[in-house]
């Protein structure tokens, strides 16, 4: 998730594709990568270009302090991430 914050979601997925193929369970790896890279875009304003576009188009109404965005972004990232990873692990028979 940290890498998605640094280089953005799409470039990270392109970089990680070579590693996912080498995992013990590549199918779970691809599903996890899709889940994490998608949800990582919610964490900070700069994590996703879509966030920046929406905040820019909102103008003065879109001015949100970084820490407030981070707090709400953390809720919108980590709660669904925990549920999603749990579902993936149950589906793959790890629990």
Residue ranges, the chain, pLDDT below 70: 1, 3-7
- The domain locations on the chain are 2-91
CA 95 to chain centroid, in Å, comes to: 24
CA end-to-end distance (rounded Å), the chain: 23
pLDDT in tens, 14-35: 888 899 999 999 999 999 999 9
pTM, whole model, 2 decimals? 0.78
């Amino acid at each position: 998730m940290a890498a998605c914050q640094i280089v953005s979601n799409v470039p990270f997925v392109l970089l990680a594709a070579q590693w996912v193929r080498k995992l013990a369970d590549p199918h779970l790896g691809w599903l996890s990568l899709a889940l994490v890279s998608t949800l990582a875009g919610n964490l900070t304003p700069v994590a996703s270009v879509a966030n920046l576009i929406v905040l820019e188009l909102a103008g003065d109404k879109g001015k949100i302090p970084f820490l407030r965005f981070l707090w709400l972004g953390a809720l919108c990232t980590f709660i669904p991430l925990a549920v999603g990873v749990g579902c993936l692990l149950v589906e793959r028979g790890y629990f």
